[in-house]
Chain A
């Protein structure tokens, strides 16, 4: 009997939680169709998502959007489980994940790139190293190069900073820079790009990676595709023309049975108005070509 009672208690708590998710929606004029849109995912994209939401809600009164972080993997898992309407991801979804969504939600999955991000590599401002090749980066992060002298810097041990393995940035870096090799165990994993930047700004021998929008107090270095090619800085022009080797799209994932409000929101995000927000936050807007092709 006690168990039955505790079950009832849990249920009551769960129901209370459910109701809390749509506080403003209930008060909105048009009633039940006005359920809040919930967004979750990439920590890299939290600020972007929030700006999108603020601006969109300002122009479309009655629409309520909640944005949460947690990591791309977290957002995707939530989309699979059906606890959010839209997942923000800083990496493309894996085939297995796509199949999971379509199976569990019984609907078609939509992928919409909303911004371009250059994954910058940061060093402390006092560091003498100004450029690294992709190969050097891989060797540094897999622990084969351990001293800054080996890449033309001061004689000091390289202190590695990275992201948790729930992060899209982690997976992107692992796949595109490390060629899927494991990070060195000595990589200190921190919660969020802001924490990585903060750590590198305080550590003269530190190196870190993350979205370009966060680069403050540290110096992004130029990246060379190989030893012979020129060092490319992570600037908009270089990212847009494809010469910067570590750039990626940031994605919205949503299912086709989503509410019309959500579909309008996604459409707005890729419109010129939405892309202005992308620039404001510090990412790069989609190239014109991609913008039309996603529609």
Chain B
């Protein structure tokens, strides 16, 4: 009797041990798979862009000089930096597209950063707990809106409203696209900033209040500076999201590749250009390689900004844990 129970016990332990090992292998494998895929995607994207450097046929028309430096004849910069990939003499200047991406990102961040941080400050410092339970999920729900829906809204509703209110010549412009983009960025800024502020140790606030500071002074001069790395990280992550965002800008930006600094002009972003043109392009064409080079550029930019954001968040979390 006793003997048998002993045997059963060891068998159970052994089974559990094998299951544990198995699951560890599965999860580790899944993790490595994800990393492998990212690496493979990068390798593939870059490989398709490689003819720009290696193939003389391709690099005659599409090369770094053409992308970033070359000006065609014209009086204004608008006529000098041109993206016209289809035509007798294709023109592959990235300048109007980079400018378009930066303009949309700028407006998006201009809208999302202050509102996101203010909302985070309100939610973590002032909102009664009941209200807070509402605000946080609601704003985070914004992240769940498909960007095509935001784009559609901006295209039909926001654009008309902005034009009627501010009298823009162009319905679809940087303001319109940037505001719609800002809605998509808001949850990114809010969530990360809010997490940062909530994890500021309690004794910071208690100390501040004990010294006679008001709640507002405490929030503004103690909590916000303490959570600054998180706020900064949220901006960086929002930036990464903004330059990669495609659908909103494709629909709401007007898609005109103009080298212009005016925010009331239409814009065309790198990502929207890839989305709009990759379907048609001839395999192996200079245009094809140029689009993949653009993809590589976007990949590197988002990768760097996301890594930077994550690094800051990680460092801050370690610091907070150490201190509290």
Is the A/B pair a real complex? yes
A28-36, A57-65, A182-190, A256-264 - the one binding chain B:
A182-190
Of the 9-residue stretches A17-25, A69-77, A208-216, A246-254, which lies at the interface with chain B?
A69-77
- Please indicate the chain A residues that have their CB under 8 angstroms from the CB of B29 in the complex: 2
**What 1/0 flags go to B12-43 for Cβ under 8 Å of A?**
00000000000000000100110011001000
Interface assignment of A159: CB less than 8 Å from any CB of chain B: yes
A160→B257 CA distance, assembly (Å): 13
How far does the Cβ of B312 sit from chain A's closest Cβ, in whole Å? Answer: 31
Q: Is the CB of B276 within 8 A of A164?
A: yes
A74 near B255 (CB under 8 angstroms)?
Answer: no
Q: Which segment of A47-55, A129-137, A198-206, A227-235 sits at the interface?
A: A198-206
Given contacts A166-B281, A185-B82, 4 further A-B contacts (CB under 8 A): A165-B85, A165-B277, A166-B279, A202-B171
The distance from the CB of B30 to the nearest CB of chain A, in whole angstroms, is 11
Complex Cα gap A264–B32 (Å) = 52
Residue of A nearest to B253 (CB): A188
B218 interface hit (Cβ, 8 Å) = no
B180 vs chain A, min Cβ distance (A): 16
Separation in Å of the A155 CB from the closest CB of chain B? 12
- Tell me which of A174, A180, A185 contacts B256 (CB under 8 A): A185
Could you tell me if B33 and A77 are in contact, using CB atoms closer than 8 angstroms?
no
A residues 227-283 touching B (CB-CB < 8 Å): none
Contact for B78 among A73, A171, A185, A191, CB less than 8 A? A185
Question: B1 within 8 Å of A by Cβ?
Answer: no
| A188-B36 in contact (CB<8A) | no
Judged by a CB distance under 8 angstroms, whether A295 is at the interface is no
Point out the residues of chain A lying under 8 angstroms from B281, CB to CB: 73, 77, 166
In the complex the two chains form, is B279's CB within 8 Å of A74's CB?
yes
A202 x B160 contact (CB < 8 A): yes
A108 CB-CB contact with B under 8 Å: no
How distant is B256 from chain A, measured CB to nearest CB, in Å?
5
- In the bound complex, residues from chain A placing their C-beta under 8 Å from that of B277 are 164-166
Size of interface on B: residues with Cβ below 8 Å to A: 40
Interface centre among B32, B82, B255 (most CB of A within 10 A): B255
Task: Establish whether residues B256 and A77, one from each chain, have CB atoms under 8 Å apart when the complex forms.
Answer: no
Q: Is B283 an interface residue (CB 8 A)?
A: yes
Residues in A neighbouring B33, C-beta threshold 8 A: 2, 6
Q: Which of A174, A180, A187, A203 contacts B171 (CB 8 A)?
A: A203
Q: Is B84 an interface residue (CB 8 A)?
A: yes
Interface residue? A157 (CB, 8 A) = yes
In the complex, A186→B86 CA distance in Å?
16
Q: Is the CB of B169 within 8 A of A205?
A: yes
Alpha-carbon gap, A174 to B84, bound state (A): 12
Q: Which residue of B lies closest to A97 (CB)?
A: B282
Q: Are B276 and A159 in contact (CB under 8 A)?
A: no
Chain A contacts with B in 51-109, Cβ cutoff 8 A? 70-71, 73-74, 77, 81
A-facing residues in B249-283 (Cβ within 8 Å): 250, 254-259, 265-266, 268, 276-277, 279-283
B153 within 8 A of A: no
Contact A73 B280 (CB under 8 A): yes
- Alpha-carbon distance between A187 and B266 when the two chains are bound, in angstroms: 9
Does B185 count as interface, using CB distance less than 8 angstroms? Answer: no
Residues of A within 8 A of B46 (CB): none
**Pair B169/A159 contact, Cβ less than 8 Å:** yes
Closest partner residue, chain A, to B250 (CB atom): A191
> By the criterion CB–CB under 8 Å, are B279 and A70 in contact?
yes
Contacting pair B86 A165 (CB below 8 A): yes
Instruction: Give the Cβ gap from A166 to chain B, nearest Cβ, in Å.
Output: 3
How many whole Å from A190's CB to the nearest CB in chain B?
A: 7
By the criterion CB–CB under 8 Å, are B282 and A77 in contact?
yes
The A-contacting residues of B in range 150-173, CB under 8 angstroms, are 159-160, 169-172
A91: shortest Cβ distance to chain B, in Å? 12
A73 to B170, CA, bound (A): 29
The residue of chain A having its C-beta at the shortest distance from the C-beta of B282 within the complex is A77
Query: By the criterion CB–CB under 8 Å, are B280 and A165 in contact?
Result: yes
User: A188 and B256: CB pair below 8 A?
Assistant: yes
B262 to chain A, nearest CB (A): 11
**For the complex, what is the distance from the CA of A190 to the CA of B83, rounded to whole Å?**
16
Q: Does B88 have its Cβ within 8 Å of any Cβ on chain A?
A: yes
Residue from the set B83, B86, B268 with the largest chain A CB neighbour count within 10 Å: B86
Q: With A165-B280, A188-B170, A205-B169 in contact, is A182–B87 under 8 Å at CB? A: yes
B96: interface (CB < 8 Å): yes
Residues of chain B lying within 8 A (CB to CB) of residue A191:
250, 276
Q: How far is the CA of A159 from the CA of B173 in the complex (A)?
A: 12
Instruction: Tell me whether A174 and B279 are in contact (CB under 8 A).
Output: no
Given the interface pairs A157-B169, A159-B169, the reply to whether A182 lies near B254 with Cβ below 8 Å is no
Given contacts A71-B280, A166-B280, A189-B256, contact A182 B172 (CB under 8 A): no
B258 touches A186 (CB 8 A): yes
Q: Is the CB of A2 within 8 A of B36?
A: yes
A140 → chain B closest CB, angstroms? 15
B82 CB to closest chain A CB, in angstroms?
6
Q: How far is the CA of A288 from the CA of B129 in the complex (A)?
A: 77
- Nearest B residue to A75 via CB reads B280
Residues of A close to B255: CB separation below 8 A: 164, 188-190
